[in-house]
Amino acid sequence: MSMRKISFGKAINEALHQEMERDDSVFIIGEDVAKMGGDFGVTRGIWQKWPDRAKDTALSESAIIGLASGAAVCGLRPVAELMFADFIGVAFDQLVNNAAKLRYMFNGEVSCPMVVRAPTGSGIRTAYHHSQSVEPWFMNVPGLVIVAPSTPYEAKGLLIASIRNEDPVIFLEHKSFYSIKGDVPEESYEVELFKAEVKREGRDVTIVATMSMVALAEKAAEKLAEEGISVEIIDPRTLFPLDKDTINRSVAKTGRLVIAQEGPKVMGFGAEIAAMVVEDVFEYLKAPVKRVTTMDVPIPFSPVLEDYVVPTDVDITEACKAVVEF
């Protein structure tokens, strides 16, 4: 494949263009996604090519997801954009009680192949209503697939795989990523869903990290390597259903686990990983599991306070040292 460096946002845009070119049943729906090209510019150029397949909506998340799920049941493949993941709660009933349940209710005879793209996370100073990490809200809902890329390469390949998947997918895009660049093939390709990636091999401690926490984990791993501590980094990529085997194998090898999670600690993504590891590979643990998370407070608007409550690479470094020295 021919590689070149493009941004995370451009990688998603390219995935949308290529899937719409390939499959006439794919269409885009959301607030300002047509002529304007989306609030973050991710759907630029699509309305100009396919004016009948890129539709602006009213400011109503419940209408967007309700229409998308209905269209999916009728044989189309909608990609719905919500301007901020925080407002996905407005469409909770449409996602949780309708889209997620349809395939099960009809014994597989009906599916709901829709993708909900949603910018998530902190880092660009958008305060309490626009900076939350929403993945735990939906990880308790069988029937939904939750995808969280951490690189431009993954963004393109995972989105293509999500559009082709038969179940409803919540596709989380960390809003601080849109301008970061990485190697991405020009051609269409899929990154396998439900498969974690070992980002870095190590022997002393496993870090499970998602989205923005992956880069911080890599920074921490570099610092720790200078002190003789070898870190293995696992990025789940699909948060639900989870690739448990890759995580368990890593923890069984290193005997130590640190979970780096953006979002509050209580009932967060890290709590499920910790519980799973204790249930499945407890006998291999050499130290208690550590969670590095956002504080249990709303994300402040003040840049200084936002930086204070969200995890840093220093926090991850200290957690790794604590489990290694236990």
Among the listed residues 212, 257, 239, the one whose alpha carbon sits nearest the alpha carbon of residue 136: 239
Alpha-helical regions (H) of the chain: 8-22, 46-49, 61-73, 92-93, 102-105, 135-138, 152-164, 212-226, 244-254, 269-281, 303-309, 313-324
Q: Strand 231-235 relative to strand 197-200: parallel, antiparallel, unpaired?
A: antiparallel
In sequence order, which residues have a C-beta less than 8 Å from that of residue 155 and are 6 or more positions away? Answer: 8, 11, 12, 15, 149, 173, 177
In angstroms, the first-to-last Cα distance of the chain is 46
Residue 84: strand, helix, or coil: coil
Place of tokens 């493949």: 77
* Residues present in the chain in total: 326
Is 129 one of the annotated active-site residues of the chain? no
Residue 209: strand, helix, or coil: strand
CA distance 208 to 309: 20
Residue 302: strand, helix, or coil: coil
Active site residues: 130
